[in-house]
C-alpha cells in the first residue's frame, strides 16, 4: 500500500460508508478478473460495506454487467451498478422528460432511455425533429447515423454524450471509443456535448444518490487518474488509486501529475485496499 504516505492516508481518510468501484482495469481486465477481486468484494459485502460499480461503458445493461462480473466470480448486485447509459437516462429524465431522442448507441443505452420514458426516433422518421441527440459507443456506426445526428443538432437538438473516452481498451489493443464518435459530431457542428460519464460529476452524483451517502463518505476506487480520480475530485469524494490497470508503480505519479489529481491513497491491488480499509478505526 502506498499513498502520499500510507500513514497519512490512514489518518486523513475516514471509514467509508460506501465504495464506488471502477470496473475495467480495477476489478477485471477484459475477461480476466484482477487477482483477489472476487474475494475482496465478497469479504466487503459480508462485513456490510456497501459496494457500488460505476462504469463509463454504455453498451451493456446493469443486468448484463452483473452477468459479466459473475462469470469472473465477482458477485456484484445489478441494483448497485451504474453505467454511463443509466446515468444519462437519469439526467435526461430530469432535464428533458418524455423528449424525442435520436440515439447513436448500443442496447444498454437504448434500453435505459426507453425505461426513462424517452421516445427514440430513427433515420426513417425524417419529419420528426429530435429534442436531443444522445450519443454513446456504437460499434455498428454508419455515415448515415452521423449525418442524421448532425442534422438534428444543427436544427437545435441538445447534445448528450455518455462518456468522453476516445479509446476503447480491447484484448490486444484499442479501438475508437464513444469520445471519438462525439469528436466527429463536435467537429461537424461546433456544439459541445453535455458529458455524463467520468470524469463528469453527473455520473458521480447519480451514483451517490443511489448509494444514499454524502461525497466525503464514499471512496472512489479506480485505476485511471484521468477519469476515475478526476471524477472523485469533481464530486468531492476521496480518491483511491489501484495499480491494476493504467498505472504502474513506476508511472503512477507521472499520470497523476498529468491528470492534475493527487490520490488519497495508492494500493497495489485488492489485498492492499482491504488492508487500508481495515486499518481505519
Selected catalytic residue, list 22, 138, 223, 264: 22
24 is catalytic: yes
Spatial neighbors of 211 by CB under 8 A, at least 6 apart, are 17, 18, 20, 50, 52, 218
Q: Cα angle vertex 33, ends 27, 34, to 5°?
A: 60
Spatial neighbors of 208 by CB under 8 A, at least 6 apart, are 20, 214, 215, 218, 235, 237
Q: Could you tell me if 178 and 164 are in contact, meaning their C-beta atoms sit under 8 angstroms apart?
A: yes
22 is catalytic: yes
Cell 476503447, residue located: 168
Selected catalytic residue, list 24, 138, 165, 264: 24
Q: Could you tell me if 161 and 133 are in contact, meaning their C-beta atoms sit under 8 angstroms apart?
A: no
Active site (catalytic) residues = 22, 24
Amino acid at each position: 500500500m502506498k499513498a502520499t504516505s500510507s500513514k497519512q492516508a490512514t489518518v486523513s481518510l475516514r471509514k467509508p460508508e460506501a465504495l464506488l468501484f471502477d470496473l475495467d482495469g480495477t476489478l477485471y481486465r477484459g475477461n480476466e478478473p484482477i487477482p483477489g477481486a472476487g474475494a475482496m468484494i465478497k469479504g466487503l459485502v459480508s462485513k456490510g460495506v456497501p459496494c457500488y460499480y460505476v462504469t463509463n461503458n454504455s453498451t451493456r445493461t446493469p443486468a448484463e454487467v452483473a452477468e459479466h462480473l459473475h462469470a469472473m466470480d465477482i458477485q456484484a448486485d445489478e441494483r448497485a451498478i451504474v453505467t454511463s447509459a443509466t446515468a444519462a437516462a437519469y439526467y435526461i429524465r430530469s432535464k428533458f422528460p418524455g423528449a424525442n431522442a435520436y440515439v447513436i448507441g448500443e442496447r444498454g443505452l437504448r434500453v435505459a432511455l426507453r425505461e426513462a420514458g424517452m421516445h427514440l426516433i430513427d433515420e426513417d422518421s425524417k419529419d420528426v425533429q429530435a429534442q436531443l441527440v444522445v450519443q454513446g459507443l456504437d460499434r455498428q456506426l454508419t455515415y448515415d447515423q452521423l449525418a442524421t445526428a448532425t442534422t438534428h443538432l444543427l436544427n437545435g437538438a441538445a447534445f448528450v454524450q455518455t462518456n468522453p473516452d476516445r479509446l476503447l481498451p480491447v484484448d490486444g489493443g484499442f479501438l475508437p471509443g464513444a469520445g471519438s464518435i462525439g469528436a466527429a459530431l463536435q467537429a461537424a457542428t461546433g456544439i459541445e456535448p453535455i458529458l455524463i460519464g467520468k470524469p463528469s460529476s453527473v455520473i458521480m452524483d447519480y451514483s451517490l444518490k443511489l448509494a444514499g451517502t454524502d461525497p466525503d463518505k464514499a471512496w472512489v476506487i479506480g485505476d485511471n487518474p484521468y477519469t476515475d480520480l478526476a471524477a472523485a475530485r469533481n464530486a468531492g469524494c476521496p480518491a483511491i488509486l489501484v495499480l491494476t490497470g493504467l498505472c504502474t508503480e513506476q508511472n503512477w505519479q507521472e499520470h497523476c501529475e498529468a491528470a492534475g489529481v493527487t490520490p488519497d491513497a495508492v494500493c497495489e491491488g485488492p489485498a492492499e485496499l482491504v488492508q487500508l480499509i481495515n486499518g481505519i478505526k
